[in-house]
A and B are shown apart, each in its own frame.
Chain A
Amino acid sequence: MNPNYRYLLISLLCWLPIRSFAQRVYEGQVVNKVTEAPLKNATVALLKAKLAVATDDQGYYKLVVNKPVTNDTLQFSFVGYDTYLLPAANYQPKMFIPLTPANNRLKQVDIAGNKIKTLTLYKFNVSDIKDIRFELMTKDGLVRGGYYTTPVYTNGTFAKQFEAPQVNVKLNTIDLGRRDRDIPTSPEDYPLATSSKYMRFLIHVILPDSAGALGKTIFTKEVYISNGALKITIDLKDKQIIIPTTKFFIAVEWLPIRINEVIYLNVGRKTAGIKKDGSSQIEETAKYSILYQPFLVKFESAVGAVGWQSVDNRHWFKFDFRSPHPSRKHPNHDVALSATIVY
């Protein structure tokens, strides 16, 4: 071990006892266990520290405790749902907390469901977008780690194709999954991209042209996110979006603006000088790639999807859904982008 690092390690170990008294942050999303819809205004409390917050539109909570109490418990509660208790020691970053609807609540949903049909196209589950680490043993006995999901981003627009069961359906909500650009593949690693909870992007609803390709845009909405929610629900119920065709597209357009900027570290090479023999001396150096949020989630899926991407929203190219990793669970891949329609 390099002597400098040895010294550093000793210094760090000296710090460990101090850190146990440091501020703690709990954040994540509270969702309906059955529908996985976000629960707004659910209460998240730390029982011993006596701190509580309410969830926002995305069911997202952030609880900052300056003086953590030993053996504390997180309590998640919402009217009409069973209360969920989680020992604070078992908290994991950005957890989804599923609250189970109480029995009387479930009956009401059933009655309402008879009046109108609700269907989620390309429905994905929170388990699909949650980063689950895998490890593979290579032929030479090395263990290599990775994640089942991969980030999706373009310098333009990504559009996914949907097929409704009939014409004139009403688009109620759009859900999309989101992740960081880089997630460490082991606990010892450090992410090689900056991370930001802030992002702004456009959502388009596009009809097919006469040839079935992307045609007229019938609805556009700018979405602003200021929390770390991994599942984002865009409520469009009051927009009265009626889709006159069975086939339609939902597109995410990236905005190259400052708030969306993320810096990703690559290794570059620079000429550090010329040696006496005339040859170049090459050194490794930091190469920062500027990327823009959001990072959508590509995950392994039983059902394959069809998507397109474009730089100018005029010329579209088929999106490659293949994963850089060989399939393990399913042969197909999807991007976590769903549409809930009623008809």
Chain B
Amino acid sequence: MKKTGIIAAGALGALVMAGCGSSTSGGTVTASSKCSTSIGFEGPITGPASPVGDEQLHFAELALSMDNTANKTSIKLVQGDTQLNPAQATTVTQQFTSNSAIVGVVGPAGSQEVEAVGPLMARAGLAFMSGSATNSTLTTGKYPTFFRVVSNDGVQGPQDANYIIKNLHPKALMIVDDQEVYSTGLVSSMIPVFQAAGVKVDHESVSQTLKDFSSLVAKVTPATTVVVLPWQLAANAQQFGRDLAQQHKNAVIFGTDGLFSPGTFSISGSYVSSFGPDITAIPADASLVATATAKYGTFGTFGPPIFAATHVFDEAIASVCKAGKTPSRANVLAAVKATNEPTSILGQPISFGPHGDLVNGKFFLFKLNSGGKYQLIPS
């Protein structure tokens, strides 16, 4: 990674010396300094999911800053706060689609938001790429301009369910959705696996706005040894864990994606499966981790995929400019579809299937030790 960066920097220097407009080197495309356009960012910058949105915004800004320098582009980021709310995401998307300067959108964060904005984005021919929306139904072809840099629930749900069956051996478990598309999708893909294995399943459902789980926890019987929480809000899971402890229940929490939040969810003995890797453990990302940590402090798994998604857009725009064209929604969409990055900060290549899914995506499993620290374990 460092070597590529040095080569790219060298190539950039040579190009400047030669007064040339554009060139390519390794995986990075350099473009004319007149390559100027905007991309949108949709995320929950405020509201209960703001820890997720803040992290995503920081990594989008970081990627844009680094890519603008490397590619000699002038891409601007237009922020849109969705609050993880489909209605709010729709309003933001209407603003973005009517802004002709925006040629692509990073986000939104939630599957329910993608469901809401997908038709608007398609009608506007605007490519949009999520770093965290994993519901399987989003990539059936109904949203032709949608992409994601993370795996889908069709992979995660069964994989997690099988892990629970083989390693935690529950006879009975409780699975609680949070009434959002993301959560209900995962639950739907897990329950058949549990039932096929003969595990007794108590399926519950609570709103994301609920803060008191004591009534639900009272239903956790001594035979219920695992509680599966495919939730987006780590703070809610933390409260659920506290309610378990308060009622002296020993069930293990198995959470997904949103629960990867070291500052918020720290119930020891819990498991968290995540679409994103812990990039602090990827040696090639050491420099980026240091930069991000210095600028924004500690981070979880939501930021890096957004960095990767922003980078895909940046490279797509740079390649359009390099071809001597002005970036437009159509040519950026075509360039995004043709993405073929041999490596990324996520530790895996990035290319997209016919309906926008990440090719060969994978999930990562973490266990929280007694100090609440997240440790990657084989899944």
Q: Do A and B come from one complex?
A: no
Interface of B toward A, CB cutoff 8 Å: none
